[in-house]
């Protein structure tokens, strides 16, 4: 008769096999986006498929269920004999059970069909975007939406089918909760956008010829200032910046280094991916092989990137210290520009068509627009063919502008082609979480401004690690935020932050 701890340890052993396979899959994915010779895409697909199928086989194996069953009821998640297991270990068991139950929900044939359709749709989307041709994309997107609706049936939901999708990326989130948040946020942001729009601010000095080598030097300096552990991460160049992690000791970020738009394309990207990277680096490696050494949700992940990119990286205290460094690296661009002008330029509010380049105020409106469209596609109240029309209407209503074409309109994002529905809202949730965390961080560090103005940032990493990173998937996002900030998720902190920064002009 084994003790609960022995059962747990057997589970960890198998779990390490599975997470090791996942980490390999992550690594070869990173290679594909950075160094892979382009004609190797065929063998790379075989490699990816084979690893994913091995992982799926492990996750749905009866062996894994047998390992779990002495510790937790598979049907309802009730913990059984767990004496001797601490809270983290119990949390690991609960999350494992969720993953196992989830892995069995989608039939293999459906997963294959979905992956195949997504891959086709992405390539059609790329051409359609290029050609500004929504009609050629339409039948493929209709098929994807059909598949996503089918997926919600497999996954199951209580109230709204879209809840099943939200649960994938933000456990516990529902349409009901989101509608409440966005109903308050949307009019506030529309109103704020109108008030802040100021086209007279000069921004042209941000663009220039920047030496790639110098850019990378500055990037590494920033990452070191943020408190990255040496020998545990990389930063490489890629067309589309991203951050992946094989393990807390192997975090890999990329950024754009060939650019005329240093701040938007590179610096803020490095701070953004750096925020993601610190989260991954801050997970507890002693729990590798369990869900505890895994990030909690896309919204929480995004909060970590946003707090660094915007709340800190676009603040005056931050640039009080770092602007002289930037001037030193690129004197031809910045030596004649005052810090105040620079700070104004990087915080210009201006409605624009492309979400990924949007400012702090308008960004969430882009996302709310997509959320509203997604929700109605999934509940059937909107037809795919009506997307362009609805998109343009909403753009006009929320941002006061109308796209000239579909390329800068409803064809701009890759998410829908991939079948990623339910993902967009996490971009706003990231802002809301970040604003709450930012408040608590400053409360715990009354000398926050002084420290940051002197270039000290590692206390921020430490605070985020203590309150967020190290817990991995132990708590739900709701509970984690409640514990870290003392209040449940709400849009109020974010509204207050934006008002203070953009109306009261205080930092």
Token readout for 259 is 């650019």
Catalytic option among 273, 280, 350, 360: 273
* Residue from the set 20, 119, 376, 490 that interacts with its own copies by CB under 8 A: 20
* Residue closer to its own copies, measured from CB, 40 or 356: 40
Site string for its own copies, 103-122 (x = CB under 8 A): --------------------
* Residue closer to its own copies, measured from CB, 54 or 339: 54
Q: Is 233 in the site for its own copies (CB under 8 A)?
A: yes
* Residue closer to its own copies, measured from CB, 246 or 270: 246
CB of 46 to its own copies, least distance (A): 5
Q: Is 10 in the site for its own copies (CB under 8 A)?
A: no
Q: Is 234 in the site for its own copies (CB under 8 A)?
A: yes
Q: What's the distance, Cα to Cα, between the start and end of the chain in Å?
A: 61
Q: Is 194 in the site for its own copies (CB under 8 A)?
A: no
3 state DSSP class of 310: helix
Q: Which residue has the tokens 């506030």?
A: 188
* Cβ burial 148-169 (10 Å sphere, 16+ → b, else e): bbebbeebebeebbbbbbbbbb
Q: Is 229 in the site for its own copies (CB under 8 A)?
A: yes
Q: Which residues sit opposite 255 in a β-bridge?
A: 237
CB of 171 to its own copies, least distance (A): 26
Please state, in angstroms and rounded to a whole number, the distance separating the CA atoms of residues 72 and 111. Answer: 27
| CB contact at 8 A, 437 and 477 | no
- HSE-CB at 228 with a 13 A cutoff on CA atoms is 26
DSSP 8-class letter at 258:
S
Widest Cα–Cα separation across the chain? 76
Site string for its own copies, 27-56 (x = CB under 8 A): xx--x---xxxxxx-xxx-xx--xx--x--
Q: Which residues sit opposite 243 in a β-bridge?
A: 253
Binding part of the chain for its own copies, among 85-93, 128-136, 145-153, 229-237 by CB under 8 A, reads 229-237
Contacts of 234 (CB under 8 A, 6+ apart): 251, 252, 253
Burial group, residue 408, by CB count within 10 angstroms (0-12, 13-18, 19+): middle
CB of 331 to its own copies, least distance (A): 24
CB of 237 to its own copies, least distance (A): 12
CB of 232 to its own copies, least distance (A): 5
Q: Is 23 in the site for its own copies (CB under 8 A)?
A: yes
* Residue from the set 137, 140, 288, 391 that interacts with its own copies by CB under 8 A: 288
Three-state SS annotation for 379-435: HCCCCHHHHHHHHHHHHHHHHCCCCCCCCCCCCCCCHHHHCCCCCCHHHHHHHHHHH
Q: Is 348 in the site for its own copies (CB under 8 A)?
A: no
Contacts of 211 (CB under 8 A, 6+ apart): none
CB of 458 to its own copies, least distance (A): 18
Q: Which residues sit opposite 245 in a β-bridge?
A: 251
CB of 250 to its own copies, least distance (A): 4
Binding part of the chain for its own copies, among 15-23, 69-77, 309-317, 499-507 by CB under 8 A, reads 15-23
* Residue from the set 76, 109, 200, 231 that interacts with its own copies by CB under 8 A: 231
* Residue closer to its own copies, measured from CB, 31 or 261: 31
Burial group, residue 343, by CB count within 10 angstroms (0-12, 13-18, 19+): middle
Token readout for 398 is 């929320």
* Residue closer to its own copies, measured from CB, 17 or 78: 17
Q: Which residues sit opposite 254 in a β-bridge?
A: 236
Closest alpha carbon to 398 in 355, 374, 366: 366
Q: Catalytic annotation on 350?
A: no
* Residue closer to its own copies, measured from CB, 36 or 131: 36
Where does this chain bind its own copies (CB under 8 A)?
Answer: 16-17, 20-21, 23-24, 27-28, 31, 35-40, 42-44, 46-47, 50-51, 54, 229-234, 236, 246-247, 249-251, 288
């Amino acid at each position: 008769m084994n003790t609960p701890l022995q059962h747990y340890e057997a589970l960890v052993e198998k779990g390490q096999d599975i997470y090791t396979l996942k980490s390999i899959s992550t690594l070869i994915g990173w290679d594909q986006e950075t160094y892979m010779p382009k004609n190797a895409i065929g063998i790379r697909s075989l490699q990816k498929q084979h690893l994913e199928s091995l992982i799926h086989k492990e996750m749905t194996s009866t062996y894994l269920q047998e390992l779990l069953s002495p510790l937790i009821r598979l049907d309802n998640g009730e913990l059984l004999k767990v004496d001797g297991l601490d809270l983290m270990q119990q949390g690991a068991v609960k999350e494992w059970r969720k993953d196992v139950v989830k892995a069995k929900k989608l039939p293999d044939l459906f997963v294959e069909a979905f992956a195949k359709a997504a891959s086709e749709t992405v390539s059609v989307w790329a051409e359609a975007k290029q050609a500004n041709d929504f009609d050629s994309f339409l039948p493929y997107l209709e098929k994807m939406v059909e598949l996503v609706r089918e997926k919600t049936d497999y996954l199951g939901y209580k109230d709204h089918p879209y809840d099943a999708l939200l649960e994938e990326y933000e456990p516990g989130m529902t349409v009901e909760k989101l509608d409440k948040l966005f109903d308050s946020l949307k009019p506030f942001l529309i109103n704020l956008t109108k008030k802040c729009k100021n086209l007279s601010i000069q921004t042209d000095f941000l663009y220039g010829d920047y030496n790639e080598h110098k850019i990378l030097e500055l990037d590494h300096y920033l990452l070191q200032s943020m408190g990255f552990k040496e020998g545990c991460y990389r930063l490489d160049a890629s067309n589309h910046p991203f951050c992946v992690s094989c393990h807390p000791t192997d975090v890999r970020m990329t950024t754009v280094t060939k650019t005329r738009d240093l701040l938007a394309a590179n610096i803020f990207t490095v701070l953004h991916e750096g925020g993601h990277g610190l989260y991954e680096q801050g997970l507890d490696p002693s729990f590798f092989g369990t869900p505890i050494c895994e990030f909690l949700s896309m919204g929480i992940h995004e909060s970590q990137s946003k707090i660094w990119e915007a709340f800190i990286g676009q603040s005056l205290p931050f640039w009080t210290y770092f602007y002289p460094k930037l001037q030193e690296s690129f004197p031809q661009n910045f030596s004649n520009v005052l810090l105040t002008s620079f700070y104004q330029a990087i915080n210009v509010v201006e409605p624009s068509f492309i979400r990924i380049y949007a400012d702090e105020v308008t960004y969430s409106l882009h996302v709310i627009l997509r959320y509203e469209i997604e929700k109605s596609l999934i509940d059937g109240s909107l037809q795919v063919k009506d997307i362009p029309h609805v998109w343009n209407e909403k753009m006009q209503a929320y941002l006061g502008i109308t796209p000239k074409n579909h390329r800068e309109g409803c064809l701009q994002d890759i998410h829908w082609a991939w079948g990623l529905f339910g993902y967009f809202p996490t971009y706003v949730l990231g802002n809301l979480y970040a604003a709450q965390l930012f408040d608590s961080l400053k409360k715990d560090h009354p000398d926050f401004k002084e420290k940051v103005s002197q270039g000290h940032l590692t206390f921020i990493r430490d605070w985020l690690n203590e309150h967020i990173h190290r817990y991995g998937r132990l708590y739900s996002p709701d509970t984690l935020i409640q514990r870290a900030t003392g209040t449940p998720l709400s849009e109020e902190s974010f509204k207050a932050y934006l008002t203070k920064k953009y109306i009261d002009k205080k930092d």
